[in-house]
Amino acid sequence: MRLFKCNKSEALSEIKEVKIAKEKKLQSITEKNLPLIFGLEFVCSEFTVGNYRIDTLAFDPETNSFVIIEYKRSENRSVIDQGYAYLGRMLDRKADFVLKFSNVKNKSYEINDIDWAQSKIYFVSTAFNKYQLDSLIFNDLPISLWEVKTYHDEHISYRRIEYGSSGASIKKIAPTDAIGKVAKELEVYTEADHIQRANDDIRALYETVRYNILARWNLTLVPRKLYLAFKSATNVVDIEIQKTQLKLTLNVPKGKLIDKLNIAEDVSGKGTWGNGDYQIIMKDEFQLSHILNLIEQSVKFHS
């Protein structure tokens, strides 16, 4: 990705990309900024389990599950082989992970306190080769690829690489028995899982809302078990797709949302699936412009 600086006369000058001198530097930067980059909590570095050494172990408080982060990659193995090998080891040694987490948090956790089905692995690198990218043909992988670029003026970017457009499921056509075994223990939720719940009108409405959100703001769509999260470092708006309506939960604290039309309900005292104190019910595109304005307030609140 090319990056430019704009001066007062609107002339652009390119900010040159520089290479990170050492892999450890990338790991250090990432670990110190996990909440900002990924919305994750740091657990530990260089966690050894048997003959595996995990570069970074993190925890996702939203899904109540562990995330393994790896910076080292074998050029001769696909990220699927590597990813499922690490996840398989974690599922085989759950007690070791829970003990480490308990020690770090200074609180006693049990194996059943963790949602193991939502375990993930992130590969963070300055580049991925074609072989690694071409192996990602499935849409239900517990794997995320993040490409990192650094620049002369100390700017740094983390970009999630999209994949899995074929619609194939690894649970149905796993490359190996070992991968198939791990895949059956994990549950990866997709956008399609949520969309299929709606009737045709609500599907079209969701597509309109989705398009406007992603076109206006630099947010990432992350399917969760019960909703679709549109997030930066943290969730900005969560959408629950139902058969005849959409439920939008805005991640804005009570009293901080300016809603002149009074269409957002205060749900701070109620239980909701999404994150935030305000919820909007959408059944059509009426007041879409105003709803986008409310979402923008959430974007600005978290920027």
Q: Is 89 left (phi over 0), alpha (psi -120 to 50) or beta?
A: alpha
Give the DSSP H or E segment for 218. none
Q: Residue 36 corresponds to which amino acid?
A: L
**89 and 171 both lie in a single domain:** yes
**123 and 220 both lie in a single domain:** no
C-alpha–C-alpha distance, residues 120 and 190, integer Å: 14
Q: Residue 38 corresponds to which amino acid?
A: F
Assess contact for 287 and 276: CB atoms under 8 A.
Answer: no
Per-residue confidence (pLDDT) for residue 179, from 0 to 100: 87
Per-residue confidence (pLDDT) for residue 205, from 0 to 100: 98
82 SS3 class? helix
Neighbouring CB atoms inside 10 A of 167's CB total: 11
Per-residue confidence (pLDDT) for residue 15, from 0 to 100: 84
- Token pair in block for residue 274: 């999404």
Per-residue confidence (pLDDT) for residue 223, from 0 to 100: 94
**262 and 166 both lie in a single domain:** no
Per-residue confidence (pLDDT) for residue 170, from 0 to 100: 81
Scanning the structure block, which residue is given the tokens 């963790």?
114
Indicate which CATH number applies to the domain containing 62: 3.40.1350.10
**18 and 167 both lie in a single domain:** yes
C-alpha–C-alpha distance, residues 237 and 271, integer Å: 16
Whole-angstrom distance between the N-terminal and C-terminal Cα of the chain? 22
pTM recorded for the entire structure: 0.87
- In the chain, how many domains are there? 2
Question: SS in 3 state form for 142-193?
Answer: CEEEEEEEEECCCCEEEEEECCCCCCECCCCCCCCHHHHHHHHHCCCCCHHH
**296 and 213 both lie in a single domain:** yes
C-alpha–C-alpha distance, residues 101 and 95, integer Å: 10
C-alpha–C-alpha distance, residues 84 and 93, integer Å: 14
**27 and 174 both lie in a single domain:** yes
Torsion of CA 135, 139, 140, 143, to 10 degrees: 50
**27 and 173 both lie in a single domain:** yes
Q: Of 185, 215, 236, which one is at a domain's C-terminal end?
A: 185
**212 and 128 both lie in a single domain:** no
Q: Of 185, 208, 238, which one is at a domain's C-terminal end?
A: 185
Q: Is 246 left (phi over 0), alpha (psi -120 to 50) or beta?
A: beta
**14 and 144 both lie in a single domain:** yes
Per-residue confidence (pLDDT) for residue 165, from 0 to 100: 60
Exposed / middle / buried, residue 169 (Cβ in 10 Å: 0-12, 13-18, 19+): middle
The sign of the dihedral angle between the CA atoms of 226, 292, 267, 230 is: positive
Per-residue confidence (pLDDT) for residue 298, from 0 to 100: 97
Q: Of 185, 215, 249, which one is at a domain's C-terminal end?
A: 185
**178 and 288 both lie in a single domain:** no
Indicate which CATH number applies to the domain containing 223: 3.90.1150
Domain extent, residue 212, equals 191-301
**157 and 278 both lie in a single domain:** no
Per-residue confidence (pLDDT) for residue 3, from 0 to 100: 80
Give the DSSP H or E segment for 233. none
Tell me the pLDDT of the chain (303 aa) as tens digits: 678 888 888 888 888 888 876 778 899 999 999 999 999 999 999 999 989 999 999 999 999 999 999 996 555 567 888 899 999 999 999 999 999 999 999 999 999 999 999 999 999 998 888 878 877 778 789 999 999 998 887 889 999 887 756 667 787 776 778 888 899 999 999 999 999 999 999 999 999 999 999 999 999 999 999 999 999 889 999 999 999 999 999 999 999 999 999 999 999 988 777 789 999 999 999 999 999 999 999 999 998
**45 and 117 both lie in a single domain:** yes
Per-residue confidence (pLDDT) for residue 167, from 0 to 100: 66
